[in-house]
Structures are given as C-alpha cells and as structure tokens.
Structure 1
Amino acid sequence: MSDPTPDPTPDPSTDPSTVERAFAAALYAGTDTALDTGASLLAADPGADAELTRRGEEFLAAAWRRGWQPADVVRYVRRELDETHVRLVSALVLGEAGGRPAPHPRWAAQLAELAEQVGAPAPRTDRFSRATAVLELYRLLLALPALEPLDPPRRAASSASAAGSSSTSGSGSNSRMLARIRALLAKAEATGYPQEAEALSAKAQELMARHSIDEAVLASGGTAARDGGGDAPGACRIGVDPPYETAKAVLLDAVASANRCRAVWHEEFGFSTVVGFEADLEVVELLHTSLLVQATAAMTAAEAAQRAGGRRRTKTFRQSFLAAYAHRMGDRLAAAVREQTAEAAGEGGRDLLPVLAARDVAVTEHLERMFPKTVTTRLRGVSDEAGWHQGTAAADRARVERHRPLR
C-alpha cells in the first residue's frame, strides 16, 4: 500500500497579507473588539507599514474620484475624529500627492497650506495606538460619500489681450489688486478700534466690487457679450467651523451674495459650496475670513461689556450676535456693491449692466446644475435681544460711504 500523496506546499503569495487580514477584521465591522484585533495584527508586523500607507493613499485617490479635495478631507477628519487623525491624514494627503502636478491652482494652494500646517513631527507613540488611529481614519475614508464635483472657474485665455493688454500684465494687475484688498483687511483685523476696522472692511468691499466689475468687462472684451464673457463660473468649498456654524454660514452667504456668488451650506460636512466667477470667489474667501475675525473680536468685546454690567451672557447671546452681524453686514456690503456698480455705469460703462446681468444668470444656472434640489435652513437659537442689538450695532459701525475708486 503506497503512502498517501502529500499535500502540495502552500504558496505564500496566495496568503492574505497582514494588512488584508487587519482590514477584514476591522474596517468592515464597527466594534471596538474588531478594531483591537486589526490593530494587534498591524502592530505585530512592522513589515506591513509600507503596504498600509499605500492602501491609505488608494483610499484618498478614491475620495478624489468621488469629488473630495484635500482641504475637504482634512476638515472632515478634524470634525469627526481628533488631532492625531488630522496629522495622519495630512501626511497621507501630502504623500499621495507626490511630485505630480496639482489638477488646478486651488488644489495646489490647499496642498501648500497643508504642508505649512504639518510643522513639527507627531509625538512618538506605541505601534498598537498608531495602528488603531490609522484604522479609525481608514474607516472614515471608506465611508466618505460622493460630493458634487467642482469645476474650477476658468478665465478666458484671450480676455486680457482683448482688452488691449497681455495676459501677463493682466495677471499682475489682478495680483496687485488682491494684495491691496488683503492689506486693507489685515489692517481691519489688526486695529483695536471697531469703527476703524469696519470702515476699512467697507473700503475693501468697495475695492472688491470694482475688481469684480473690471474683471467682468475684461472677460467680455469690453463689450456686453451675451454669454457673460469668455470665462465661466465654477465653485469652491469654504469651511464653516464650529461653534455657531449656522450663523457663520449665514455670514458667508451674505458675503457671497454681495459679491455676485451663491452659497449652499452642507451642515453635515462643515463647509459651504460657493458658486461664482473666479475673481468673485477670490474676494469672497478673503472677505469672509476677515469678517469672521472681526465679528468674533466685536462679539467678545460686547460680551465682556455685558458681563461687566452684571449680566451673564450665554451661547444664545453669541449666536444672536453673529446672526445679527451677518444680516446687517450683508445689507451694508450689498449697498456698497450697488454704489460701485452705479458709479461704474455712470462713467460711460453703458455695456456694463448687460455684462453683469449675463454673469448673474450664468452663476444661477451653474448652481442649479450642481444642486437641483436645495432647502432653506432656519437659523435657530436667535432669541437674545441684547445679542441681536449688539451684533447689529457692530455691523452698523461699518460706514459704507462713497469713496474714489481705489485703483
């Protein structure tokens, strides 16, 4: 009787890797026990680290295909997890980007900002704790839903030459204009006098309005092109961070509307999508960031004054303050834009109004294609009368007066 035929030697290449076994245990089960099992497997095998990083980069690549961008992912991780996971995902995003060119300038700017924020290396920790954090991060990345893809705004390649100047000089003029706007807003944020801060913001908005008008005329070649010019609207996402996200989203909506853009707030993800032409999106980002700084400073001062008078203020006061500030500031910014538009039209720009109207239509149509269904959100928690009056007064101190164009 012959010996039984021995089993063939197992092929190591067919065995699941440590990473595969850790993922099977932890990524698709939502229990802490499953997470501990996966983390233990990874912690015991240092040779799995490279594959673990590579798989994380694959998860990020899938997120990009679903419409996410680097800043969106980092913001959402910060919202849902903690700073350990933010450091992990930041390093993962930069590693995944490698040396390849960014898809567009906004993407490149997000990567550059992220690289600046990474800073010092993360504190040393044991392998099990790190593996646990990595698996928690990957669980979140796997669950990211699809977002509306953002088409970056484009400028007409021939718009500068159509207006009688080279593309290079047009770009330089645009940079100089934005630098002047940033300088005004920086002064507004730095001053300790609320009236001066908000007057500087008003001047910045005036300059922004003129900048938008000049860009519209430039893009249309100086004539009232029926399609609003050779460029086209696009969209960007702007973070709306806690606390008081709803009031901050209202402020962003006010700034966007005043600057010929439209904003849609995504409460679940902590950002608003702003639709508009590139020149207008740039100033919306600048002004919204600055006004948040100023509104927070004014709110803190108002709350301190209330407490000094023996009245204890609460979250309701702050929410009401910011809501009133946003509402009133929107009115002031819109008035500044109307004045600038009327002045520009009165200076012989008879073709200006049709150009601006065409661009407004283009923005609305782009918004409706991206978001065919939107709902109105009610601003809750605005019930503190003192907070509302204080917020309105803070916005009213922005004396939006007529000035000579700052060019």
Structure 2
Amino acid sequence: MVSPAETIRGVRAGAIAFEDGVVALSVAPAGDVDAALAAALGEAFERLFRGGWQPAELHRVVARRGNPLQADIVADAATNAAEAAGLIDPRWLAQAEELPRAVRSSDRFNLLDAQLDLLLELGRLPPIEVLIPPPGTAASARAANTGDDRVLDRVRALLAKAESTDFPAEAEAYSAKAQELIARHSIEEALTARDRVEVVPYAKRIGVDHPYEGEKAGLLDAVARANHCRTVWSPEFGFSTVFGFDADIDAVELLYTSLLVQANRAMVRDEPAKGKARIKAFRRSFLVAYSVRIGERLSEATRHEIEQHTDLLPVLRGRDLQVREVMDRAFPNTVRARGRRVDSLEGWESGRAAADEAELR
C-alpha cells in the first residue's frame, strides 16, 4: 500500500496524476495524510522564506490564483514561522501579523485538493533577492527614523485629500504639496546622510495588480525615477522591485498608490460608454499617457527643489550611482521593456488631461 508521503512525492514528480493523488489522499488515514502534507508544505515554505520571499509577497502571489483556502494556508505558515523563530526582523513579523484571513469552511476533499495544488505551485517558485532577513537569522540593523515618519504622515494626509475630492483643482493642489514635501525631505535626508558612511541604498518589492499590470508598472517606474529610485518589473510574479534610499522608497510607494487611485477614478469617469474592445484600448492608452505625463510633472517638481540646493548636486549624483550599482548587482541581466502601444487617441488625450489634473509642480 502506498503511503501518503509516497503519494505526495509521486504527484510532485509527475508519476501520479494530480486527480488520482487527491483521491488517494482522501481515502487514506486522515492523521497520516495531514502529517505528510504538513511536513511537505513546511519544507516548501521554509525554502521560500529562506529564499527571499516575504509573507506579503508570497501571500499575494498565491492569492492571485483565486483560491482563498490557499491564501489562508500561506498566512498560517507565515505566522507559524514567525512564532517559531528565535530571531526575526520586525518588518517580517509585521507582515506576517497583518496578512488578511478569510474564514471559510471547506469539506476535506476540497481542502486536500487545495493543499496539494498549493504544494505544486510553491515548488515552481524560485528563490528571489533577500531584502528582509528571514526568520531565524539576524534582524536588520536598519532603524526607523521618526523624522521620516512625521513627513510621511503629512504626505499621507495630503494624498488622502487628493484622492477624496471630486474637484481637479483641489486634487492638484494637494498632490503638488505632497510632492514638494517628498522632494524637499529627500534633499534634506541627503544633506544629513552625506557624512554617514553606513547609509546605503535599499530595495522593496511593490505589488502591481492586474488588469493592465504593465501599464501600472510604467507608472510606478515614472514615479520612482522622479524621486531618485529605479525599478525592475517582474511580470511573472506581479511585482516591481524598487531600489533607492529608505525615505525615497517610502515616498514612491505612497505617491504611486495615490496616483493610481486618482488615475482609476478619472479613467472610469472618461471612458467610452460602449464596446469592450474600445474600453480596453482606451484604458491601456489612458494609463500609458498618464504615466508619461505624471513622470514629466514629478521631474519638474524635483528639479525645482534641487535648483534651491545646487551645491548638493555631487551628493545626489553619487547617491544615484549607488542605487544603480545595487540594482545591477541584484539584477545583472535585466531586459529593457518595450514601449507600450497606444491604440486609442481618445484614451491618450484623456490620460494626459487626467495627469494634468493631478499636476505636481
């Protein structure tokens, strides 16, 4: 008689069909099956967590597959890993604690199906760049900066107002003030850090949701470049890795999220009433134009702040080189993305107009 562990190995190796494996596990002793699945999933999660995957990232990749049971399994695994670790980075722990959970009941057959399918999916995921030390390793020495927190809180408040208003002029004013604060704070941070050798670039992965992932990744890249950061888009996982200094990366994430909210609101408001293909072309073209125009506006605002500190140009250039070097070490074989197609003049013009409404001076 084939044991549950042997059945699981057979399915993973392709020697046993997936459906046959689920049936075999469903009629085997429940205690043996649960132990074998728990052991296999535990090994898979340990490999991925040690291989650079953070709780929020792994949860997001699995949740995108549409099975809430599997997303809950990831959340439980992250919590268990955090609780079992003697050493844990507080950022890793915070992600594990904040993962959403959907309380859902399921019969045993569906649960076995979800667990086995998840095990196969986890086996396909490769190691990625370690950005936060995994559980059981030394926590990062990077400390929180209360000054950064205060500035970012002010930026959050301004962007929340920009998102909530129905008046373009108000949204423009709030967003413009937010970008001015971001650019000024980045310069001040560079001034105070130029004599601190230990200050180094960092990286953070930011999820980019479908639909129109490529176009949204283009918006994130435009925001990042205007704020002294660089991005690498990983379409197979649905996230971009943003490289830069801490204050800049945090600001990029805030600004990108807010601008995406504003873009979606304007896009729905202006899109044509009929025709699925026409709406799809409109939205893609809208987001391409919006990203280009936002990039122009953000860069203008950043240049304006830098002009007030021309003596800092060598420091800023040096920081830009550091960011580029860190990115090249992490991704030595990147491929430049192709330009996005614009199939709707109506969408292009509407996207640029919407970007002007969210003008950042």
Say if 2:288 and 2:340, in contact at 8 Å, map to a contact too: no
Q: Match for residue 76 of structure 2?
A: 91
The match for 1:45 among 30, 46, 51 is: 30
Contact 1:316/1:381 (CA < 8 Å) preserved in 2?
no
- Hey, what does 1:397 align to over in structure 2? 357
Aligned-pair distance for 1:146?
A: 2.1
Partner of 1:125: 106
- Asked which structure has the greater CA Rg, the reply is 1
- Supply the distance in 2 between the matched residues of 1:143 and 1:400 (Cα, whole angstroms): 42
1:136-215 alignment runs, 5 A limit? 136-150=117-131, 171-215=145-189
> Of the candidates 196, 215, 224, which is equivalent to residue 256 of structure 1?
224
3-state SS of the aligned residue for 1:98? Answer: helix
Deviation at residue 81 of structure 1 after TM alignment: 4.6
Give the CA deviation at 1:311.
Answer: 11
In the alignment, structure 1 segments of 5+ residues that lack a partner are 1-14, 158-169, 402-407
* 2:157 counterpart letter in structure 1: A
Partners of 1:253 and 1:101 in 2: how far apart? 37
205, 210, 227: which is aligned to 1:237? 205
Looking at structure 1, the residues matched to 2 and 181 of structure 2 have their Cα atoms a distance apart, in angstroms, of 61
Question: The residue matched to 2:205 in structure 1 has which SS?
Answer: strand
CA distance in 1, matches of 2:60, 2:142: 32
Q: Would you say how many aligned residue pairs link Structure 1 and Structure 2?
A: 355
SS at structure 2 position matched to 1:204 = helix
TM-aligned CA deviation for residue 395 of structure 1: 0.5
Which residue of structure 1 lines up, in the alignment, with residue 247 of structure 2? Answer: 279
2:336 is matched with 376
Q: 1:292 to 1:398 in 2, by over 3 A?
A: closer
How far 1:197 sits from its partner (Å)? 1.7
- 4+ aligned runs moved over 6 Å, structure 1: 154-157
Q: Distance in 1 between matches of 2:142 and 2:71?
A: 38
What percent identity do the matched residue pairs reach?
A: 45
The alpha-carbon deviation at position 47 of structure 1 amounts to 5.2
What's the RMSD between the two structures over aligned residues? 2.7
Between 310-319 and 81-90, the greater mean CA deviation after superposition = 310-319
| Conservation of the 8 A alpha-carbon contact between 1:246 and 1:379 | no
Instruction: For residue 17 of structure 1, report the CA deviation from its aligned partner.
Output: 5.4
* 1:140-180 deviation digits (Å, cap 9, x = unpaired): 1112112233368x8888xxxxxxxxxxxx93222111110
**Alignment CA distance shift 1:197-1:102 (3 Å):** farther
Name the SS of the counterpart of 1:231 in structure 2: coil
Q: What secondary structure sits across from 1:22 in the alignment?
A: helix
What corresponds to 1:24 in structure 2?
9
